[in-house]
Amino acid sequence: MIPVDYYIIVSILLFSIGSAIVFTRRNILYVLMGIELIFNAANINLVAFGQFEPYLNGQLFSMLVITVAAAESVVALAIVIVLFKKLNTIDLSEIKNLKEK
Amino acid sequence: MSGIIPHIEVPLLAADGISRLALTIFFMPVITFAVLFFAGKNIPASIRSWLATVVMGVMFLLSVYVHINLEGTHLSRWIWFEIGSIKFTTSLLLSNYSSTMMVIATFVSFMVHVYSVQYMKERRNHSKYFPYLALFVSSMLGIILSDNLLITFIFWELVGLASFLLIGFWYEKDSSAAAAKKAFLYNKFADLAFVIAIMILYGVYGTTEISIIQQYTNIGSALETSVFALPVLAGLAIWFATVGKSAQFPLYVWLPDAMAGPTPVSALLHAATMVAAGVFLLLKTSFLLGGWVSNIIVIIGCITALLAALQAIRTFDAKKVLAFSTVSQLGYMMMAVGVGATDAAFFHLATHAFFKACLFLSVGAVIHAMHHMQSHQFDHGQYKELDTLDMRLMGGFRKTMPITFVSYSIAYAALIGLPFFSGFLSKDAILSGLYDWACLTGTWSWLIVASAFTTVGITAFYMTRQFILIFFGDFRLMKIDVSYKKFFEHIKENEWLINVPMMLLALLSIWFFFSINPLHAQTGWWMKQSFISDHIHDFHIFIPIIAICITTIALWIAFTKYKAVDAFVDTRAHLTHLFAHNYYIEKGIEAVVIKPVFVLAKVCSETDSMINHIIHGKVYFFILFAQIADVFDRWVVDGLVHFIVGLSRFIGSYFRSYLKGEIQGYFYFTLIAFALLLLLLGWYL
Amino acid sequence: MTLIQIVFFFFSIQLLGSALVILFTRNVVYAAIALMSTLLGVAALFVIAGSDLLAVVQLVVYVGGVLILLLFGVLYTYRDPETYYEKKNILLSIATVIGISIALLFLLRDLAFDFPLLHASPFDQKGITKATGYYWITDKVVVFEVVAVFLLIVLVGAGWIASKVLEQNKRAQ
């Protein structure tokens, strides 16, 4: 129905937008959203190629990816909460505790 | 070993009765030595001395018995030790020579022991004197009885040891210690030749038994094969050993200095027995002497006799005069051996033993009297240093010590060679032998005969000089130092223990004991079998006449000269110096032998230290090299590693400086790295 | 242009547009809603690719789970209105998007996709849900269980991190 090239292009564009969000935004929550977009781009790729298989490996792997992404965002939010309690800010340009003295 | 050293059958012989008796005589002084040496301090002095003397007396009687009952030759041989299949044997030879020599040796030692009982009474170090004498007597008997060159050599060395111990008996005096060392060293140097002789003979014959070697040696044929044939060289080596022991030129210089020992020791060792041991050895091995070796013996003997006699003319030490006289008479004996008149040599050895011992004992009596006077002086609170041997301080003892005077005169007459005395017989035998030889040999031998006769005259001269200086005139010490006047009466006759041995020995210096005929020794009685009379000597009547004439002339010259002269004036001082320094022999030896050795030692030590420096230099070089290697290791090798580490760190920190702690920065770099990785994969795929 | 293509383009435009909204907006809540829109578009794309199960899973998990969680996070970390409206660098954003997309396209230019054009999904008769269910439980049951354990760990861990226990421990030190 749809040639697989189109899916690849959509996936690439979504991935690049997601990366741009991660690189350029200063708010942690925006970064988390960008990460979700990246995950979804990978998912699109997987499912697009998975329709040609007699076995359902594409869909299965994609389900795993979704699971991992959800788990990851849970943990990330927990860390954000703790970070907010500690440093009272969610601005990434102000959180420089990892810097070498 | 069978290929190198010839194997000669050496039969073993058991000892018969007489030989066993001789062995007993030999072992008696050994036991005495052991007892007195180890337990001597615990025994009182008088018992010590009498024990040794009695043992000597018994030995003398036993050896007389052996001599009387001896017929022919008794040879015994046993195995000493074995190495594998090589047997080393010891042997004992009882012949006329050895039994006669044994009688002489034991008699003189017996006399000396009796004398020493009195002479050495209450002297220092008394407990060691008789053991050393016993050691000497046993070693001397070993030399006399042994028929094996190796055993003889062992006893030869032991005699040298005993001589060393006895000369340096009062070792606290520097002169005694130095004299003992000198005697030992000169003897040792000559003994090297003895060892060489033993080695040559063992190499040629495979055994050191004298009797066996005698059977296989023909010196005449050996000389025909080669001038330096091995038996000839062995003979030369044995003679050289006697140059040391029997005081020939140039190794005689130890004998005058050996007078630093006690007088009885001088009498026994250096007049009668030890110095004669060399002559005795040559007599036993006379089959090895021939041709040019004999000529050398005669020449050296002649030189010795002449030079020593010349030295005696200007000596003022009483005992030294007698020492030079001994050397001179030994020269005579050697001349006789070289000429081939072995009978005459042995005869002179026997007579010389008796009259020289008597002379020494008489001079010792005089010295003892002087010491006696000194001790009285000491008791009275005055003490002055006195050289009791200086003849210039004596004089006029004829009246105060008559017995000594008589015995001295008899022995003196024997030494000079006046008729009716023993020395006359033996000396004329030697002179006859020399004359016979000179008739056979060529022109130069007459020079030897002439110098022998001249020495007779010189002997008479110096002996008369001593005779007059000691016994005639006034007591010169009194003239110099008036304080001695009151002590003069203490110079009197000594005790009987000193006088009796002197008199007995003087008695034996009279002709009667050697020959019924006072003028010729052919009819000797107790020495009759000592003469291996192969040749019958023609009796040349003119020889004794010439000798008597020369002697009388010299006697008269000395008498007139010394009666009136002031003994302290020394004319011809350089000659005196020349004689006093033994013709500078010692200086010569020092320059020729000792200095080069020191120079060589110094060169060796210099070389050694140079090698040390080189090795040190090498070590320094290696240390330097190690330092360079260390620097290289630290700077270059480690430096390279540190440089690489530093470079990595630098690059890392440079890139890390871009990260300001922002999380997105880390993400950014991760992405770049990932992109580069993909690029890489893209190139390869 | 068949109908299915038009639908595809419509949903992909929606998808990308919502993503751009997230990229450029200053309001976090607007960004969250745009995220929801993006996720809806992805779900539609899943349906077009023949996996309706996955679309539903996506909607349930992502929109109904992750997004809600994100909104909770937004509300929790609310400070004051000024910090909400953050400044952004537009040029850098656009440059990044273009850069990355061109790079990826460049990398993938040589790949020749010979996949055929499908007209129907192979699982249309059977239904994908049933097939996936069978597949999970029979062939891939280990993965299934591992994933379950993994989720458990994550939940417990996240809850523990965010709780007051950690804070108290830290204060005690």
Estimate the crossing angle of helix C90-107 against helix C3-24, to 10 degrees.
Answer: 140
- Name the residue among C20, C115, C166 with its Cβ closest to that of A82: C166
Cβ of A59 within 8 Å of Cβ of C53? The answer is yes
List residues of chain C with CB under 8 Å from any CB of chain B: 103, 107
Run of H or E including B86: strand B86-94
Residue C125's pLDDT band (cuts 50, 70, 90): low
Check whether C34 has a pLDDT greater than 90. yes
Contact status, residue C21 vs residue C34, Cβ threshold 8 Å = yes
Q: Taking a C-beta distance cutoff of 8 angstroms, is the pair B129, B120 a contact?
A: yes
Residue of B nearest to A95 (CA): B662
Q: In angstroms, rounded to a whole number, what is the distance separating the alpha carbons of residues C163 and B405?
A: 145
Q: How far apart are CA C53 and CA C43, in angstroms?
A: 10
Contacts 24+ apart (CB under 8 A), B658-661: B659/A99, B660/A96, B660/A99, B661/A95, B661/A96, B661/A97, B661/A98, B661/A99
ipTM attached to this prediction: 0.90
Tokens encoding B591: 């320059």
How far does B661 lie from chain A, in Å, by closest CA?
4
CA A4 to chain centre: 22
CATH number, domain of C128, equals: 1.20.120.1200
Question: What's the rounded Cα separation, in Å, for the pair B293 and B277?
Answer: 19
Asked if B682 and C107 come within 8 Å (Cβ–Cβ), the reply is yes
Q: Helix, strand or coil for residue B653?
A: helix
Higher pLDDT, B229 or B352: B352
Indicate if C148 and C109 belong to the same structural domain: no
Task: Give contacts of C 12-71 with A, CB under 8 A.
Answer: 12, 15-16, 19-20, 22-23, 28, 31-32, 35, 38-39, 42, 45-46, 48-51, 53-54, 57-58, 61-62, 65-66, 69-70
Nearest CB to B660; choose among A22, A31, A99: A99
C154 and C101 within one domain? no
Lowest mean pLDDT among A43-52, B62-71, B426-435, B470-479: B470-479
Smallest Cβ distance to A64: which of C147, C155, C159?
C147
User: 3-state class of B390 per DSSP?
Assistant: strand
Q: Residue A34's CB: how many other CB atoms inside 10 A?
A: 24
How do strand B86-94 and strand B74-83 relate by DSSP bridges?
antiparallel
C50 and C31, same domain (yes or no): yes
pLDDT confidence of residue B479: 64
Neighbors of chain C with 3 or more C-beta pairs under 8 Å: A, B
Does residue B482 have a pLDDT over 80?
A: no
- Write out the two tokens for B339: 């000429």
Q: Search chain B and give the residue with CA nearest A24.
A: B664
Q: pLDDT grade, residue B534 (50/70/90)? A: very low
Tell me the mean pLDDT in the region B589-613: 86
Q: Give the whole-number percent of chain C exceeding pLDDT 90.
A: 38
Closest C-alpha to B329, from B253, B449, B246 = B246
Alpha carbon distance B159, B214 (integer Å): 25
Nearest CA in chain B to C103: B675
Residue showing tokens 């030399």: B143
Element (H, E) at B82: strand B74-83
Contact assignment for C103 to B682 by CB distance below 8 Å: no
Integer distance in angstroms from the first to the last C-alpha of chain C?
68
Q: Is B22 helix (H, G, I), strand (E, B) or coil?
A: helix
Query: Does residue B533 surpass a pLDDT of 50?
Result: no
User: Tokens 């909104």, residue?
Assistant: C71
DSSP for B544-598, written as a single string:
HHHHHHHHHHHHHHHHHHHHHS-TT---SHHHHHHHHTGGGHHHHHIIIIIHHHH
What pLDDT does C150 receive?
93
Average pLDDT over residues B132-148: 90
Q: Does C121 lie in the same domain as C163? A: no
> How close A42 gets to chain C, by Cα (Å)?
11
Locate the domains of chain A by residue range.
26-92
C53 and C104 inside one domain:
yes
CA torsion through residues B442, B448, B450, B452, sign: negative
Residues C119 and C37 in one domain: yes
Task: Say which residue, C124 or B521, is predicted with more confidence.
Answer: C124
Report phi then psi at B93, rounded to 5.
Answer: -120, 120
Q: Which residue has the tokens 């309690």?
A: A85
pLDDT of residue B580: 65
> Do C125 and C167 have their domain in common?
no
Q: Which of B415-419, B592-596, C151-155 has the lowest mean pLDDT?
A: B592-596
What size, in residues, is chain B? 685
- Nearest Cα neighbor of B494 from B60, B121, B29 is B121
Helix pair angle (B126-145, B45-69), 10° resolution: 10
Task: Examine the domain organization and report whether C86 and C151 are in the same domain.
Answer: no
pLDDT at A46: 92
% pLDDT > 70, chain A? 98
- B675 to chain C, any CB pair closer than 8 A? The answer is yes
Half-sphere exposure of B137 (CA within 13 A, CB side): 36
- pLDDT band at C61; cut points 50, 70, 90: very high
- Per-residue pLDDT band at B644 (split at 50, 70, 90): very high
Q: Does residue B213 contact residue B205 with C-beta atoms inside 8 Å?
A: yes
Residue C99 shares a structural domain with residue C144? no
Reported confidence tier of residue B2, pLDDT bands at 50, 70, 90:
very low
Domain with C94, as residue range(s), is: 3-139
Structure tokens at B225: 């094969």
- The residue whose two tokens read 């893209």 is B682
Q: Vertex B330, ends B324 and B333: CA angle to 5°?
A: 155
Number of domains making up chain C: 2
Residue B248 clears pLDDT 90, i.e. is over it? no
Q: What percent of chain B has pLDDT over 70?
A: 85
CA distance B678 to chain C (A): 8
Within chain A, how many helices (H) and strands (E) appear?
3, 0
State the Cα angle at C97 between C94 and C103, rounded to 5°: 135
pLDDT-wise least confident of B123-137, B412-426, B547-561: B547-561
User: Picking from A5-9, A38-42, B124-128, C80-84, which range would have the lowest pLDDT averaged per residue?
Assistant: C80-84
**For residue C53, what are its two tokens?**
């199960």
Nearest residue in B to A99, CA atom:
B661
The helix/strand/coil state of B83 is: strand
Percent of chain B scored above 90 by pLDDT?
10
C156 and C126 in a common domain: no
Ranked by mean pLDDT, which of A71-80, A85-94, B502-511 comes out on top?
A71-80
Mean pLDDT (chain B, rounded): 81
- Residues C77, C128 share a domain: yes
Say which residue, B369 or B110, is predicted with more confidence: B110
Instruction: Supply the mean pLDDT for chain C.
Output: 83
pLDDT the model gives residue B623: 92
User: In which band, very low, low, confident or very high, does the pLDDT at B1 lie, cut at 50, 70 and 90?
Assistant: very low
Residue B129 confidence (pLDDT) = 87
Residue in C23, C28, C115 nearest the CB of A17: C23
DSSP β-bridge partners for residue B93: B75
Angle in degrees, 0-180, between the axes of helices B444-471 and B318-339, rounded to the nearest 10: 160
pLDDT at B537 exceeding the cut of 60? no
Can you give B248-310 as a three-state secondary structure string?
Answer: CCCCCCHHHHHHHCCHHHHHHHHHHCHHHHHHHHHHHCHHHCCCHHHHHHHHHHHHHHHHHHH
Across-strand partners of B408? none
Q: What is the pLDDT of residues C137-172, one digit of tens each?
A: 888 889 889 999 999 999 999 988 887 766 666 666
